[in-house]
Amino acid sequence: MEENKTPQPGKKRKFNLYWIYVILTVVLFALYFAGKDSPTQEEIEMGQLIELLKNEEISKIELVNKENAEIYLNEKGMSRHFPDEKPSRKGTSPTPQYKYRIGSLERFEETVENVQKENNIAKPIYITNVQNNSWGMEFLINWLPFIFIIVLWIVIMRGIGRGGMGGGQIFNMGKSKAQLFDKDNVPVNVTFKDVAGLEEAKVEIMEIVDFLKNPDKYTKLGGKIPKGVLLVGPPGTGKTLLAKSVAGEANVPFFSISGSDFVEMFVGVGASRVRDLFKNAKEKAPCIIFIDEIDAIGRARGKNPINGGNDERESTLNQLLTEMDGFGTNSGVIVLAATNRADILDKALMRAGRFDRQIYVELPDLIGRKEIFEVHMRNLKLGDDVDKDFLAKQTPGFSGADIANVCNEAALMAARKGKDAIEKQDFLDAIDRIIGGLEKKNKIITAQEKEVIAFHEAGHATTSWLLQYAHPLVKVTIVPRGKALGAAWYLPEERQITTKEQMYHEMVATMGGRAAEQVVFGQISTGALSDLEKVTKQAYAMVTYYGLNEVIGNVSFYDSTGQQDFSLTKPFSEKTAEVIDQEISKLVEKAYQEALTILRQHLDGLTLLANRLIEKEVIFSDDLVNIFGKRPWDKEENHEG
The residue range among 165-173, 232-240, 262-270, 613-621 that interacts with ligand ADP, by the rule CB under 6 A, is 232-240
Name residues contacting ligand ADP, limited to 317-346 (CB under 6 A). Answer: 338
Q: How far is the CB of 376 from ligand ADP (least distance, A)?
A: 6
Neighbours of 126 (CB within 10 A): 11
**Of the two residues 170 and 375, which places its CB atom closer to ligand ADP in the complex?**
375
- CA 579 to CA 591: how far, in whole Å? 18
- Among 69, 188, 198, 543, which residue sits at the site for ligand ADP (rule: CB under 6 A)? 198
DSSP codes joined into one string, 533-563:
HHHHHHHHIIIIIS---TTT-S-----TT--
Q: How far is the CB of 424 from ligand ADP (least distance, A)?
A: 21
457 catalytic? Reply is yes
- Among 401, 445, 484, 608, which residue sits at the site for ligand ADP (rule: CB under 6 A)? 401
The residue range among 189-197, 418-426, 475-483, 616-624 that interacts with ligand ADP, by the rule CB under 6 A, is 189-197
Q: Is there binding between residue 241 and ligand ADP (CB under 6 A)?
A: yes
Check residue 65 and report its DSSP letter.
T
Q: How far is the CB of 543 from Zn ion (least distance, A)?
A: 22
Residue 286 preceded by cis peptide, ω within 30: yes
Residue in 370, 428, 365, 364 with CA at minimum distance from that of residue 400? 364
The residue range among 91-99, 177-185, 443-451, 525-533 that interacts with Zn ion, by the rule CB under 5 A, is 525-533
- CA 485 to CA 479: how far, in whole Å? 7
The option from Zn ion, ligand ADP, none interacting with 531 (CB < 5 to 8 A, set by class) reads Zn ion
Rg, C-alpha atoms of the chain: 41
Closest residue to ligand ADP in the complex (CB): 400
The option from Zn ion, ligand ADP, none interacting with 372 (CB < 5 to 8 A, set by class) reads ligand ADP
Give the relative orientation of helices 603-616 and 500-521 as an angle to the nearest 10 degrees: 80
The residue range among 196-204, 418-426, 535-543, 615-623 that interacts with ligand ADP, by the rule CB under 6 A, is 196-204
Q: Is there binding between residue 295 and Zn ion (CB under 5 A)?
A: no
Q: Is there binding between residue 245 and ligand ADP (CB under 6 A)?
A: no
Q: Is there binding between residue 35 and Zn ion (CB under 5 A)?
A: no
Q: Is there binding between residue 364 and Zn ion (CB under 5 A)?
A: no
Q: Is there binding between residue 531 and Zn ion (CB under 5 A)?
A: yes
Residue 234 preceded by cis peptide, ω within 30: no
CB 290, CB 256: distance < 8 Å? yes
Q: Which of 293, 371, 457, 517 is an active site residue?
A: 457
- CA 581 to CA 587: how far, in whole Å? 10
**Of the two residues 368 and 527, which places its CB atom closer to ligand ADP in the complex?**
368
- Among 17, 61, 112, 196, which residue sits at the site for ligand ADP (rule: CB under 6 A)? 196
Which residues touch 588 (CB under 8 Å, ≥6 apart)? 507, 511, 535, 536, 539
Q: Is there binding between residue 296 and ligand ADP (CB under 6 A)?
A: no
Residue in 254, 246, 333, 262 with CA at minimum distance from that of residue 298? 262
CB 452, CB 521: distance < 8 Å? yes
Neighbours of 155 (CB within 10 A): 13
Binding residues (CB under 6 A) for ligand ADP: these are: 195-198, 235-241, 338, 372, 375, 400-401, 404
Binding residues (CB under 5 A) for Zn ion: these are: 513, 531
| Catalytic center residues | 457
